[in-house]
């Protein structure tokens, strides 16, 4: 096979080192009896060039803030990354590679952030890593613009990624790529593993677009390089680094399963072990010196391990720079450190607003906008925006500028109509550090970004979602825009905290919770329509929101015979119904239940105080599907819910038509008590 | 304003007719006090050219199968479409336009399929209409390739759409565009309403990619035309029609809110009424003859209404062609008619396979593949594929060819790694007619296509999803690929039927249900791993699946003291536990509950037979979040569930580690009974 010979004319140290990755990948997949050998074998050479000649990193301190980031967006090729981490001296011993894909190992099927040192973000669902990188590059540009000073490039590095055909086909990557080009993120350098193979066969089956031209259209700098030509690859990386105004795509023609006499350039090499015989033949073809599995030539290891010394030297130089910076700009340096350490500033809560009682009230989305603006100056790490709905989601920081190529210090991000790209970018910002990213859109469009939300939850990242227009209360835009099942669908995601406040003051506490919640994303869910601001002198204290659910309106003598549980805009109706029922002599308690997750995390004693087991007559009221409410209302209770799609009309009409009125609740409650 | 004068030099009939759309849109939005006047005003001219000079349609028979399709992907501009439908003589009287966005009207905020005659698909969530059109164009090419004969172009028409900046920014449109270019869908002609404005302001804020170049990279035919130049637009449409090998994008430079002296070319014109004063000024600027709202000049109406005669003539010519076709190809004509009428063929169920009992069993995904192949020859309308996972989802029809530019008669669609584009395309195929579309991917990636699934549900379309690898049973690929909350999230969607069969024979019945379920999508949820095929001679008949839940294993004397409810791969464990409990003397019933939606639709009497209210000890067993199960297990019951993300390991290990074993169920059940 002539392609086999590309760059492998004699067993040079380069080749030996590259083949070490290939053989480790083959062997680990074979031992696990599952996994993806093809990508590591095909992309080994370019990864080798990047990691040994360019990547600025310190294996002994993977948290060094000014390191280059490396993302394996095509996460199925995880053995490539694990091999590099082990070989360059991260805390990932060879034994872990032999435990590839086993329970409790540090080498899961796809790279997992937080589990394996050196893994910058969890990848696997295609396109996500691509979008994460864009978020990292945005964060890097913002941090540099905020903290760098002439002569002191405190933050100055690249974001690299290896992306695959699948990544480029996914819409989330298209969104992120367009945004990256617009933002002129020259610190982004992606390697496209152009191997012509996807799972169903040749990419000619379905992926024949001109990818280079497409990325040029996005304002990217595009280069074509043979995937195994080390010098050409080095040159391309240098050219990409030199291009500071455009993100770079290096299209590397690679060969999946490189070296395998029978499986190279076939879909078979993608996702199954090569088999013992083929591995033997491949090692022979590669001129590999041993047939022992997981054999690592000492000279190859030594070569890779230079990364340790180089990394420590590089970090030390940077530490010196930082020390000089701190002498010259002590306040700035302290602020930078605070943000990198993810510590909220002293007194950050001081400006959290409180809203006076008001019958007329305000939409919680608008209250949210006021809160955001009140706290923004004390919390410069708040960085975000909206997917082209800022005027509606109230996510703009008024006295801040837009984040743009002319002003990377700006904090207001215009994500465009790119919810999924926004979600993936937010994740990248969150892992990058120094920022608390937030992103807004209508609640209905949480569906568009759901895979990114799930990954934020899986990585337990501090990302704040501002989801407005949260029910049929959206009104005239109709059923395509009215969330009905989105609350249930978000609550179903593990590690995601959903909060749907009932009034402006609950909104303040919801923001407070979100800002303090560093391990896991929080979805703040707000109304389009005005909601009264409750008079707390007559009702439960708003701090109860921190417990997820609390007694908002108490029954006489705290002895309820009926409990109405509600969230968000429907709490107003629950309170109205309870007052009417109390006039009728029905001892009614209203529980505001903005967050199931926070409530379920409370001790049983607290939960039983709010929902005494003895009170069986319980009614939930929420303008969405009832799925999940039964856990609170029990067999003796019932749910007022919306089990069908909405309609286009003024929202008051919809509330009436669909049974969300004080009268309907009262009638339902009476029925429940009989 | 000079732009105002473009093409409006004197009040010609063309101008009068175009301004009729503009003024109707202004007036309807003003009366509703909500809506989007800007798009209809800006796009009126190009829509006018299309609808009066090119669109092949018969307002008196909106169901004519060979009509051109018109999609307003930017559904917020709905008044453009409603105006055209009314003006050209569809069953949409002017009174309905005055009821824009009101409860019960035919003119909701965004166009709704099934509600308003002439609306080809529900649009509004951006990018979806774009993707629907690609699906329609695929369906059109397939139906033409299948039924047309030399001299008899029975199916021969175009798919048109108006798409916006927002549509082009959404990833789903990128996916669909790439697929359309690959498939050389020359029957697709899209008008890009390039008005330089999005909600947050100028598109220069975030959308500066070279859109024309991007679409050329996708292998589209791209033209640039001034949006108000009627002759240039006509010429562009003719050129687009002449280009049969590439989809066309006509980039029309338009002006949002065209004619409004103060709001044209501003974001203000996008989504709020112009206001009475500005409307007056706009009508003056347009030289409009009346200040009465909803004024329609008789000569304009007469001009538009020529569509009726033209449409009837066109359809008659086609009916003549069809009659001749039927004489020459009677069987083909009958088959075509059957498919257009959405009637399943006689005996379509004859080849539904039955699987012999087997301890070793088979993965339900593999059973599904066998079923699909068994029935495919009797059901040529089955048309679909997978998002680059065909070998894993078992969605390939073995003795059929790939749908490709060289063979549009092929039935196996290679969607590429484009789940969202696939979902939107499936919807377009379903509304097009003549097909039962299906699409496969891993269950986890249902998240990637969720907005399209929701629209299938909202439109109540017959779309079949094949979601495989449905739990931690996926094993080594790990938590990024293991669905945990996806079942709950799908069950939350109204009008979507979710079915998770427990063995190969339930899989057969699940397919039978899906094929017979014409009003609403069905998600079939299958295992990666092998599941035993139950011996039905010892157990409940598999037909019980049609009721959603049924008694699979009965307690002695049909007097259960404990009921275990389960779905899919966990039913095997439930049965094992029940057998052990029965040996211990615990009268245990196992209910297989593959579909909540089907079960909840049963009469109460049936539901109570399966789940007698007197039996309080109930245990649900499903390897996913418990959300929603409480409705079945009640206060006295409990759920064995997975409330956290999975892990990377062989699946047997995960089942053990996470408590899904016969022993764990038995222990849990014993606890419940105490």
- pLDDT (tens digit, 9 = 90+) per residue, A594-611? 999 999 999 999 999 999
Is residue B318 in some structural domain? no
What residues of B are in contact with residue A179 (Cβ under 8 Å)? 206
Rounded Cα distance between A127 and A418, Å, is 13
Q: Which residues of A are catalytic?
A: 419
Does residue B490 form part of some domain?
yes
| B399 and A208 Cβ atoms separated by less than 8 Å | no
Distance set, CA B210 to CA B168, B222, B251 (Å): 11, 12, 11
Query: Quick check: A402 and B205 CB within 8 A?
Result: yes
* DSSP, residue by residue, A539-566: S--GGGGGGS-EEEEPPGGG--SEEEEE
Contact (Cβ atoms closer than 8 angstroms) between residue B175 and residue B205: no
Indicate the pLDDT class of residue B477, thresholds 50, 70 and 90.
very high
For the segment A576-597, what is each residue's pLDDT rounded down to a tens digit? Answer: 999 999 999 999 999 999 999 9
Q: Which of B182, B485, B649 sits opposite A209 (nearest CB)?
A: B182
Q: Range of B599's domain?
A: 541-673
pLDDT (tens digit, 9 = 90+) per residue, A133-162? 999 999 999 999 999 999 999 999 999 999
Residue A3: inside a domain, yes or no?
A: no
Q: What is the mean pLDDT of residues B424-448?
A: 98
Extract the tokens encoding A122.
């969890």
Please indicate, yes or no, if residue A337 is contained in any of the structural domains: no
Q: Is the dihedral of CA B47, B49, B55, B59 positive or negative?
A: positive
Contact A479 B108 (CB under 8 A): yes
Q: pLDDT for B168-197, tens place per residue? A: 999 999 999 999 999 999 999 999 999 999
**Do A630 and B631 make contact, defined as CB atoms within 8 angstroms?**
yes
pLDDT digits (tens, 9 = 90+) for B570-621: 999 999 999 999 999 999 999 999 999 999 999 999 999 999 999 999 999 9
| Candidate list B96, B112, B419, B622, residue with the active-site label | B419
pTM of structure: 0.98
CB atoms inside a 10 Å sphere around CB B443: 27
Whole-angstrom Cα distance, residue B313 to residue B333? Answer: 21
SS3 A613: coil
pLDDT digits (tens, 9 = 90+) for A626-648: 999 999 999 999 999 999 999 99
d(CA A467, CA B56): 42
Q: Same structural domain for residues A58 and A195?
A: yes
Give dist(CA A230, CA B523) in Å, integer. 48
- The 10s digit of each residue's pLDDT in B367-390 is 999 999 999 999 999 999 999 999
Q: Does the distance separating the beta carbons of B414 and A205 come in below 8 Å?
A: yes
Specify the pLDDT at position A1. 31
To the nearest whole Å, the CA of A618 is away from the closest chain B CA by: 13
The alpha helices in A329-363, defined as continuous H runs, are 330-340
Phi, psi of B468 (to 5 degrees): -110, 175
Q: Diameter of chain B by CA atoms?
A: 93
Q: Say which of B110, B200, B450 has its CB closest to residue A391.
A: B200
CB count, 10 Å around CB of A346?
Answer: 9
Selected residue of B492, B639, B646 to mutate for chain A interface (largest A Cβ count, 10 A) = B492
For residue A453, give the chain B residue with the closest CA: B447
Residues of B with CB below 8 A from A213's CB? Answer: 213, 216-217
Q: Is residue B587 part of a domain?
A: yes
Chain A nearest CA to B402, separation (Å): 9
H-run or E-run covering A152:
none
**Of the residues B508, B532, B556, the one at which a domain ends:** B532
Q: What is the ipTM of this complex?
A: 0.97
Q: In Å, how far is A90's CA from the nearest CA of chain B?
A: 21
Closest-CA distance of chain B to residue A281, Å = 26
Which residues from chain B sit within 8 angstroms of residue A392, using beta carbons? Answer: 199
- Cβ atoms of residues A658 and A623 within 8 Å: yes
Question: Are B207 and B167 spatial neighbours (Cβ–Cβ below 8 Å)?
Answer: no
B419 is a catalytic site residue: yes
Determine the Cα–Cα distance for residues A287 and A7; give it in Å rounded to an integer: 13
**What is the Cα–Cα distance from B170 to B288, expressed in whole angstroms?**
37
Nearest neighbour of A657 by CB, restricted to B103, B112, B211: B103
Q: Do residues A498 and A550 share a domain?
A: no
Domain boundary among A532, A560, A583: A532
Residue B8, pLDDT above cutoff 70: no
What is the domain-level CATH number for residue A97? 3.40.50.970
Give yes or no for a contact between B83 and B98, defined as CB atoms under 8 angstroms apart.
Answer: no
Cα A522 from chain centroid? 11
Beta carbons of A209 and B218 less than 8 angstroms apart: yes
Q: Which residues of B touch A178 (CB under 8 A)?
A: 169, 207, 209
> Would you state the pLDDT for residue A8?
40
Tell me the pairing of strands B522-525 and B550-553. Answer: unpaired
pLDDT, residue B450, reads 98
Q: What tokens appear for A649 in the block?
A: 């009309």
The closest CB to that of B492, out of A178, A481, A488, belongs to A488
Nearest to A507 by CA among A471, A468, A452: A468
B170 vs B191: CA distance, rounded Å: 16
Say which DSSP state A118 is in. T
Number of domain units in chain B: 3
CA dihedral for B385, B386, B390, B395, sign (positive or negative) = negative
Q: Are residues B367 and B294 in the same domain?
A: no
Chain B residue at shortest CA distance from A131: B171
Q: Which of A214, A219, A596, A658 to probe the B interface (max B CBs under 10 A)?
A: A214
Distance CA A434, CA A431 (A): 9
Show which of A282, A310, A338 is a domain's final residue. Answer: A310
Same domain, A93 and A142: yes
Compare all CA atoms of chain B with the CA of A167 and give the residue at the minimum distance: B417
Residue A217 in domain: yes
Q: Are A421 and A172 in contact (CB under 8 A)?
A: yes
Kindly report, residue by residue over A335-381, the tens digit of the pLDDT.
Answer: 999 999 999 999 999 999 999 999 999 999 999 999 999 999 999 99
Give the pLDDT band of residue A10 (cuts 50, 70, 90): low
Q: Are residues A133 and A222 in the same domain?
A: yes
In a domain, B399, yes or no: yes
pLDDT of residue A3: 37
Q: Residue A6: pLDDT above 90?
A: no
- Say if residue A2's pLDDT is above 60: no
User: How far, in Å, are A347, A442, A469, A490, B416 from residue A483 at the CA level?
Assistant: 37, 9, 8, 11, 30
Q: How many residues does chain A have?
A: 674
Same domain? B610 vs B515: no
Q: Do B417 and A171 touch (CB under 8 A)?
A: no
Contacts of B35 in chain A (CB under 8 A): 476
pLDDT at B11: 72
Cα(B336)–Cα(B334) distance, integer angstroms: 5
Considering the domain architecture, whether residues A162 and A282 belong to the same structural domain is answered as: yes
> Do residue A158 and residue A305 come from a single domain?
yes
Q: How is residue A462 annotated by DSSP?
A: -
* CB-CB under 8 Å, A206 with B415: yes
Per-residue confidence at A11, pLDDT binned at 50, 70, 90?
A: confident
Please judge whether B391 and A207 are an interchain contact, meaning their C-beta atoms are less than 8 angstroms apart. Answer: no
Task: Map residue A638 onto helix, strand or coil.
Answer: strand
Residues B214, B220: Cα–Cα separation, whole Å: 9
Looking from the CA of B191 toward its CB, the CA atoms found within 13 Å total: 32
A219 contacts in chain B (CB < 8 Å): 208-210
Say how far apart CA B460 and CA B468 lie, in whole Å. Answer: 23
Closest CB to A492 among B109, B267, B627: B627
CB under 8 Å to B299, separation ≥6 — which residues?
Answer: B13, B16
Task: Name the residue facing A494 among B211, B421, B644 (closest C-beta).
Answer: B644
**B493's tokens:** 């969607």
Contact A492 B495 (CB under 8 A): no
pLDDT digits (tens, 9 = 90+) for B329-377: 999 999 999 999 999 999 999 999 999 999 999 999 999 999 999 999 9
A515 & A600 share domain: no
Residue B278 in this model has a pLDDT that exceeds 80: yes
Q: What pLDDT score does B245 carry?
A: 98
Asked if A627 and B388 come within 8 Å (Cβ–Cβ), the reply is no
Question: What residues of B are in contact with residue A389 (Cβ under 8 Å)?
Answer: 199-200
Q: What is the mean pLDDT of residues A508-531?
A: 98
Q: What is the pLDDT of residue B4?
A: 38
Q: Are residues B217 and B73 in the same domain?
A: yes
Sign of the CA dihedral running A289, A290, A293, A296: negative
Nearest CA in chain A to B99: A649
Residue of A nearest to B458 (CA): A645
Domain CATH for A624: 3.40.50.920
Quick one: what percent of chain A has pLDDT higher than 90?
Answer: 98
Res B273: pLDDT:
97
Check whether residue B506 and residue B563 sit in a common domain: no
Confidence of residue B3 (pLDDT cuts 50, 70, 90): very low
- Tell whether the model's pLDDT for residue B39 goes beyond 60: yes
Q: Do residue A625 and residue B175 have CB atoms under 8 angstroms apart?
A: no
Residue B496: inside a domain: yes
In terms of Cβ atoms closer than 10 Å to its own Cβ (0-12, 13-18, 19+), residue B348 is middle
- Same domain? For B375 and B504 the reply is yes
Partner-chain residue, chosen from B109, B480, B489, that has the shortest CB–CB distance to A125: B480
Kindly list the residues from chain B whose CB atom is less than 8 angstroms away from the CB atom of residue A447: 450-451, 454
């Amino acid at each position: 096979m002539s392609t086999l010979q590309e760059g492998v004319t004699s067993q040079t140290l380069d080749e030996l080192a590259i083949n070490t990755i290939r053989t480790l990948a083959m062997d680990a997949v074979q031992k696990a009896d599952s996994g993806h050998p093809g990508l590591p074998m095909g992309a080994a050479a370019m990864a080798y060039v990047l990691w040994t000649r360019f990547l600025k990193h310190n294996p002994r301190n993977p948290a060094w803030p000014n390191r280059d980031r490396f993302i394996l967006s095509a996460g199925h090729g995880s053995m490539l990354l694990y091999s590099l981490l082990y070989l360059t001296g991260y805390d990932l011993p060879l034994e872990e590679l032999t435990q590839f894909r086993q329970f409790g190992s540090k080498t899961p099927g796809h790279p997992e952030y937080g589990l394996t040192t050196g893994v910058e973000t969890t990848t696997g669902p295609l396109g996500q890593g691509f979008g994460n990188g864009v978020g990292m590059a945005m964060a890097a540009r913002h941090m540099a613009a905020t903290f760098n000073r002439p002569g002191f490039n405190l933050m100055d590095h690249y974001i690299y990624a290896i992306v695959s055909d699948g990544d480029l086909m996914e819409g989330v990557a298209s969104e992120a790529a367009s945004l990256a080009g617009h933002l002129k993120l020259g610190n982004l350098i992606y390697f496209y593993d152009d191997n012509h193979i996807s799972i169903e066969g040749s990419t000619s089956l379905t992926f024949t677009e001109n990818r280079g031209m497409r990325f040029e259209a996005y304002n990217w700098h595009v280069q074509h390089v043979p995937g195994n030509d080390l010098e050409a690859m080095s040159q391309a990386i240098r050219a990409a680094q030199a291009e500071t105004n455009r993100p770079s795509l290096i299209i590397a023609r690679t060969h999946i399963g490189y070296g395998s006499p029978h499986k190279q350039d076939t879909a078979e090499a993608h996702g199954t072990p090569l088999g013992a015989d083929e591995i033997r033949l491949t090692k022979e073809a590669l001129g590999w010196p041993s047939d022992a599995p997981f054999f690592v030539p000492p000279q190859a290891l030594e070569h890779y391990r230079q990364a340790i010394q180089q990394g420590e030297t590089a970090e030390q130089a940077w530490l010196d720079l930082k020390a000089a910076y701190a002498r010259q700009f002590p306040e700035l340096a302290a602020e930078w450190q605070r943000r990198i350490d993810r510590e909220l500033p002293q007194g950050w809560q001081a400006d959290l607003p409180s809203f006076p009682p008001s019958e007329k009230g305000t939409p919680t989305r608008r209250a949210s906008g006021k809160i955001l603006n009140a706290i923004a100056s004390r919390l410069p790490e708040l960085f975000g925006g909206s997917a082209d709905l800022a005027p509606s989601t109230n996510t703009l920081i008024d006295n801040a500028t837009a984040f743009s190529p002319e002003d990377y210090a700006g904090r207001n991000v215009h994500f465009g109509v790119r919810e999924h790209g926004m979600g993936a970018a937010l994740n990248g910002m969150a892992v990058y550090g120094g920022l608390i990213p937030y992103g807004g859109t209508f609640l209905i469009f949480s569906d568009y970004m759901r895979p990114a939300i799930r990954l934020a939850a899986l990585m337990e990242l501090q990302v704040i979602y501002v989801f407005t227009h949260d029910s049929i209360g959206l009104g005239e835009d109709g059923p395509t825009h009215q969330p009905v099942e989105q609350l249930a669908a978000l609550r179903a995601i593990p590690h995601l905290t959903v909060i749907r406040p009932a009034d402006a003051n609950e909104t303040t506490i919801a923001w407070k919770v979100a800002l303090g919640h560093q391990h896991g994303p929080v979805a703040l869910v707000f109304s389009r329509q005005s909601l009264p601001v409750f008079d707390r002198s007559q009702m439960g204290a708003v701090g109860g929101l921190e417990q997820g659910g609390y007694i908002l309106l108490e029954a006489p003598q705290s002895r309820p015979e009926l409990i109405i549980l509600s969230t968000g805009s429907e709490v107003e109706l629950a309170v109205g119904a309870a007052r009417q029922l109390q006039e009728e002599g029905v001892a009614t308690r209203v529980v505001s239940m903005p967050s199931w997750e926070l409530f379920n995390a409370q001790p049983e004693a607290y939960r039983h105080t709010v929902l005494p087991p003895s009170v069986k007559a319980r009614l939930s009221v929420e303008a969405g599907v009832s799925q999940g409410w039964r856990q609170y209302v029990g067999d003796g209770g019932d749910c007022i819910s919306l089990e069908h799609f909405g309609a286009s009309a003024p929202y008051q009409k919809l509330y009436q038509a669909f049974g969300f009125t004080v009268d309907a609740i009262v009638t339902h409650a009476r029925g429940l008590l009989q």
